[in-house]
Amino acid sequence: METLRGIVLVVHLIGFATLFGAWLVEALGARRITRVMSYGLLVAGVAGLALAAPWGTDHEFNYVKITVKLVILLVIGALLGIGSARQKRTQAVPAAIFWLIGIGTVANVAIAVLWR
């Protein structure tokens, strides 16, 4: 069970890396929203929900922290949706939406690692 939990954590981190990597490429490039960002968010979210249940570990869960991460994930999802709709209509993503996606992602990593 512990190994399986470890594997789900690896999948969670791959989802995060996919979201952040795709965003970083665009931050240094055309600043567009890409489908790869949504795939990363989906993978991180599904694996995160699986990790939020107490199995394969005996450590205590900080559910306030997990809820904050979930809310931020939902906000990032909404920004991806609104941003890509705008991109379709006007060929550009509002700068605030684009940057908030990256800031939200970094905030979730910081919360994951620093909030004990």
Q: Which residues form the interface with ligand HEM (CB under 6 A)?
A: 5, 9, 12-13, 16, 19, 44-45, 48-49, 51-52, 57, 66, 69-70, 73, 76, 105, 108-109, 112-113
Nearest to 93 by CA among 27, 19, 33, 24: 33
**Rounded CA separation 53/24 (Å):** 31
CB of residue 10 to ligand HEM, shortest distance in Å: 10
Q: Which residues of 4-33 are buried (b: 16+ CB within 10 A; e: fewer)?
A: eeeebbebbeebbebbbebbeebeeeeeeb
Q: For ligand HEM, which is the closer residue by CB, 60 or 89?
A: 60
CB of residue 11 to ligand HEM, shortest distance in Å: 11
Q: For ligand HEM, which is the closer residue by CB, 6 or 85?
A: 6
CB of residue 33 to ligand HEM, shortest distance in Å: 15
